[in-house]
Amino acid sequence: MNFFNDRELARRFKAETVPPKERFYYLIIYILFFEIINSSLFNNWISEVEEPSWWVDGFNLAIIFFGTILCYCANAKGDNKEFIERYICIGFPIAVQVFILEVVLIGIINFTTGLGMFISKMWYIAAMAINGTSLSRGEIDIQVHNMFGNIITVTEIENMILEFIVGLYFYLRLRSSIKIAAH
């Protein structure tokens, strides 16, 4: 089984050397992998948001929908065979890559957010030292009103950007690998 190298798996599909039993293993592992990633336990681990965000979830569903259509079209322009097997099996090593990418991006976001908070506190201390006065400082939560008058928080916007980056990577990579297998 290929746990990371999607190109090698695409070549094996093209050569028709991926046996049905191995395809079944990819399917089971793929489903379990995404169930764990989409679980509330994992989502609470990466984000402080306790309530589900309809905007992030809707955005994610749109990425999945259009990404799957792009992959299907790439397969149809080739030999138009084994789309589901290719989608699931080739998607598995790409999902592992996406997991690593997401962990790295979350680490960067957490580092920069922490660094930003540190710098903000330093500026606050410096301003107090220069002015000699105590400044009133409350938590600033930047909010954007969407077209329905509801509020989208910065955290939701960050989540949407993160979902867009990893979703774009996943589906462009999957489409490219399906093209290898289908042509």
Please, are residues 3 and 25 in contact by the beta-carbon 8 Å criterion? no
- pLDDT of amino acid 52: 52
Question: What is the pLDDT, as a whole number, of residue 43?
Answer: 59
Show contacts of 52-56: CB within 8 Å, 24+ apart. 53/156, 53/159, 55/146, 55/152, 55/156, 55/160, 56/156, 56/159, 56/160, 56/163
Query: 156 with 49: CB under 8 angstroms?
Result: yes
pLDDT of residue 54: 61
Which ranges of the chain have pLDDT less than 70?
35-36, 38-57, 110, 113-156
pLDDT tens digits, 1-15: 888 899 999 999 999
Token pair for residue 135?
């400044």
Q: What pTM did the predictor assign?
A: 0.64
| Tokens (6 digits) for 5 | 């190298």
The pLDDT score that the predictor gives to residue 21 is: 83
